[in-house]
Structure 1
Amino acid sequence: MAASMPSDMIVIGAGIVGISTALALQSRGRAVLVLDRPDPALKASAMNAGAFAFSDIVPLATPGIMRKAPRWLLDPLGPLSVPPVYALKIAPWMMRFWRASWPDRYRASMKAQASLMRVSQAALTRQVTDASAQHLLQAEGQLQLYEGEREFRASLPGWELRREHGIRFELLETREAIAAYQPGLDPRFTHAAYTPDWTNTCDPARWLSHLRHVFESRGGRCEAEDVLRLVRHEDHIEIMTTNKAVTTRQVVVAAGAWSHRLAASLGDHIPLETERGYNTTLDKGAFDLKTHLTFPAHGFVVTKINGGVRVGGAVELGGLALGPNYRRADILLEKARRFLPDLKTEGGSQWMGFRPSLPDSLPVIGRSPGDGRVLYAFGHGHLGLTQSAGTAELIADLVGGNRPPIDLTAFSASRF
């Protein structure tokens, strides 16, 4: 296997975190090569809900959540499920998930998440200006919807924690107040919370394509290579692909749900699992959507994509190998039709993708414990788009020898 010419800086992964990181490094004078798997399938960075969810600081592992665990196995179509054939394999991850739900860890994770959100929101503003991407944003807020007083009251501690972290919101306790933001909802939704600073991209695929075009127009390179492992040498890192070996001085691993395999080649064993997300995209005219809708008790969202509607979400912890269960997408669409009686559900296109998830809902951002020349930027779960610009700037700070604006201890790979 012949080695290619040396490269100064390589980013592995051309998803939204990888491309954003490549752009940030490029803006600080680095010559960057991006490598990514030659996979024709649409990835999570292109087919997500398109939300910059800066108010979404509550970890998936909330106190008391493990009491619901038996129901996950009994309801494979529920909002948070583990396929029975995968239950034994994921058991060690679930133990870490359970520990992350303890009140001390839960609050620490939320604090760290809030700090990353603040950095990411400011970084997005800079990224939008730098990439001239204002035309791809739609700032229409978000409604979280609740069925009845009891469900609403149960949500209030979470909103109070958001208030403590400076997140703006308005609590709505009448159907009329809700309808002022989004008409056409089923009357079962009696309460809601509105977050005015919530922003979406009109299409995450166009967003990613635009940033990649900016990167390449400034001299950046992207190559389709399936990276197999990393090999340490005294004066360089060797990246082994299916076709060749590439040498470089520094590497950023931002390969999403496949990242832990590369980390393991350096001896870093990171408990990354895969949130398998499902959605259905409906054409223009499906519904007059005014704002991003979140149905927290059902684990899905309804969002505007290119003037159409995307219905998706839920969490299926099922790894990378199992085939998709599109009945999950069907269930979400059926619920959306009940919740939005005027929704036209004909002719939609379905999708399933992989979201890299760590037990405490925090990504890994920082240097590899096994080799400081390798930096990690992965594990964002369903917040990859939201935290991509912030993660990129933090990695660029580390590469440049600058002190990051937040403490990265909570995001260290060695925390496990």
Structure 2
Amino acid sequence: MSALRHRNGYDRRVGPVLPRGKAQAGAWMKVIVVGAGITGVSSAEWLRRDGYDVILVDPLMPGDAGQTSFGNAGLIARTSVMPVATPALVRKAASMVFDPGAPLFLRWSYLPRLLPWLLPFMGNARLPRLREIAESLSALTFDSMEQHMALARGTEAESFIQIGDYVTLYREPGDYHGDALWREMRARHNLAPEELSRAALVDRDPHLGPDYTFGTLFRDFGWIVDPGRYVAALFDHYRQQGGGFQQGRVVDIAPGEAPSVTLEGGAVLSADRIVLCAGVWSGAMARRLGTGMRLEAERGYHLSMFTPSITPPGPYMVTDAKFVITPMKGFLRAAGVVEFAGIDAAPSSAPPALIEKRLRRVYPGLEFGRCDTWMGRRPTTPDSLPALGSDARAPNVIHAYGGQHVGLTIGPKLGRTVAALVRGRGVNLDLTPYAPGRFGR
């Protein structure tokens, strides 16, 4: 027995050890992947490449506007090692929800339901814990560009990957230099950027408004120029190569030696393994499986502006307004802010209005034709880390969800790890921090 494996069957590299036998069988082993966003499509494709009989299940077609993967800012954010919960956010949160100009929105009627998630979320903002979480995030993000290329190379999806400069905008140099924690985290993970003066910013982008006088630059940064079409292209390749798809909504998962899923309407699909990667909708199913998963819908918005009069040279992170401006294929996208209102509440008008107002500070002269407004639901855990791996109560179900603001970034790596876990291979990653049952029962 490996020295890394505990007597209870837990391997620190790969999480709970799956039963042997069919796990090693390859082509004649059937796997159902629940959820067809970036993580689900990535999981299905890596499993297909490993020779498994795969059925991807989702009520929507991959790339549909109803999926969270469709509407993000498109960044392959290898620099995103800071957890969502920080000491600064905890200090400011109460005042932000009362400020209509702040990028944090809360529907007060939802607060009682939010508290079981919110209290441990705030508890993770302690500095020692924050540094631990950052290490675990870095382990997922540091090679994100390579993971996307490994998945997309040789497919139509590869054409949607762009490489260039990524700039973070600050209103004053002190806003950057005064954030010692953020600079420490980036230095700790070899992510120190170049600094840009106002003159350097304007030299790169003469349309930039006067409110932003300082910036930081990351070179050789990747982004997806149309996330919805990117996921759809990956899915098309998967289908062309023989991968299966069942359109339907999974309402229950039955674990066991021969696990199964029940679809809305009563149909039952059985398999040897099930992969749960349905974004924020994974939370309820995970709890029915016995994990104490705490997953919140951290709602984000975007504006997609077609025929824009200004196109930035690369993506911008606007620090004071917490949104990203990304040049896409044929349109300009401004995406960000946070709203807590649950999964099913209708979209609000205030968040996209705030994005447009703050966008005018970046580009006072911006004009555009059609503008599409969108709302999606980031699946966020109290510790900003995804669920990845199996739980002892349902070892034939693999969890892969909870990507918060880096879901697109880490989706291909989560999918590749899922395939390794199904195969029973070790992975070069300690999965302990991402254990699905880490929040209790």
| Amino acid corresponding to residue 54 of structure 1 in structure 2 | R
**1:355 equivalent in alignment to 2:378:** yes
| Amino acid corresponding to residue 398 of structure 1 in structure 2 | L
Maintained 8 Å contact 1:31/1:220: yes
Aligned to 2:403: 380
Give CA-to-partner distance per residue, 1:355-413, whole Å, 9 cap, x none.
11111111111113421100001000121110011111111111111111111111111
Q: Aligned partners of 1:317, 1:197: CA distance in 2, in Å?
A: 34
Maintained 8 Å contact 1:63/1:102: yes
Aligned to 1:311: 334
Task: Give the secondary structure class of the aligned counterpart of 2:199.
Answer: helix
Q: Aligned partners of 1:115, 1:197: CA distance in 2, in Å?
A: 19
Q: Aligned partners of 2:364, 2:110: CA distance in 1, in Å?
A: 36
Q: Aligned partners of 2:165, 2:58: CA distance in 1, in Å?
A: 33
Maintained 8 Å contact 1:51/1:199: yes
Aligned to 2:155: 131
Between the two proteins, what is the percent identity of the paired residues?
28
**1:171 equivalent in alignment to 2:166:** no
Q: Aligned partners of 1:197, 1:306: CA distance in 2, in Å?
A: 19
Q: Aligned partners of 1:394, 1:166: CA distance in 2, in Å?
A: 24
Q: Aligned partners of 2:437, 2:335: CA distance in 1, in Å?
A: 33
Please, which moves more after superposition, 155-164 or 43-52?
Answer: 155-164
Aligned to 2:263: 241
Q: Aligned partners of 1:72, 1:83: CA distance in 2, in Å?
A: 13
**1:412 equivalent in alignment to 2:428:** no
Maintained 8 Å contact 1:229/1:262: yes
Q: Aligned partners of 1:281, 1:119: CA distance in 2, in Å?
A: 28
| Amino acid corresponding to residue 159 of structure 2 in structure 1 | H
Pairing partner for 2:99 from 71, 75, 79: 75
Maintained 8 Å contact 1:236/1:249: yes
Task: Map residues 44-83 of structure 1 onto 2, 5 A cutoff.
Answer: 44-75=68-99, 78-83=102-107
Aligned to 2:39: 17
Task: Give the secondary structure class of the aligned counterpart of 2:109.
Answer: helix
| Amino acid corresponding to residue 105 of structure 1 in structure 2 | R
Task: Give the secondary structure class of the aligned counterpart of 2:342.
Answer: coil
Q: Aligned partners of 1:133, 1:204: CA distance in 2, in Å?
A: 10
For normalisation by structure 1, the TM-score amounts to: 0.94
Q: CA deviation at 1:327?
A: 2.1
Q: Aligned partners of 1:168, 1:67: CA distance in 2, in Å?
A: 26
Please, which moves more after superposition, 189-198 or 206-215?
Answer: 189-198
Unaligned 5+ segments in structure 2 are: 1-27
Q: CA deviation at 1:299?
A: 1.0
Task: Give the secondary structure class of the aligned counterpart of 1:366.
Answer: strand
Maintained 8 Å contact 2:207/2:310: no
* 1:334–1:73 distance in 2 versus 1, CA, 3 Å: closer
| Amino acid corresponding to residue 198 of structure 1 in structure 2 | F
Please, which moves more after superposition, 63-72 or 83-92?
Answer: 63-72
**1:181 equivalent in alignment to 2:204:** yes
Q: Aligned partners of 2:201, 2:221: CA distance in 1, in Å?
A: 16
Task: Give the secondary structure class of the aligned counterpart of 1:141.
Answer: strand
Q: CA deviation at 1:285?
A: 3.0
Maintained 8 Å contact 2:65/2:228: no
Q: CA deviation at 1:337?
A: 1.3
Maintained 8 Å contact 1:369/1:413: no
Maintained 8 Å contact 1:280/1:310: yes
**1:263 equivalent in alignment to 2:286:** yes
Aligned to 1:3: none
Pairing partner for 1:225 from 244, 248, 253: 248
Q: CA deviation at 1:230?
A: 0.9
Give CA-to-partner distance per residue, 1:218-267, whole Å, 9 cap, x none.
1001111110111134x301211113011111000010110011112211
**1:109 equivalent in alignment to 2:158:** no
| Amino acid corresponding to residue 109 of structure 1 in structure 2 | I
Q: Aligned partners of 2:369, 2:240: CA distance in 1, in Å?
A: 39
Q: Aligned partners of 1:30, 1:12: CA distance in 2, in Å?
A: 15
Q: Aligned partners of 2:143, 2:312: CA distance in 1, in Å?
A: 29
Task: Map residues 338-353 of structure 1 onto 2, 5 A cutoff.
Answer: 338-353=361-376
**RMSD of aligned alpha carbons:** 1.8
Q: Aligned partners of 2:129, 2:309: CA distance in 1, in Å?
A: 42
Task: Give the secondary structure class of the aligned counterpart of 1:197.
Answer: strand
| Amino acid corresponding to residue 126 of structure 1 in structure 2 | A
Q: Aligned partners of 1:101, 1:157: CA distance in 2, in Å?
A: 12
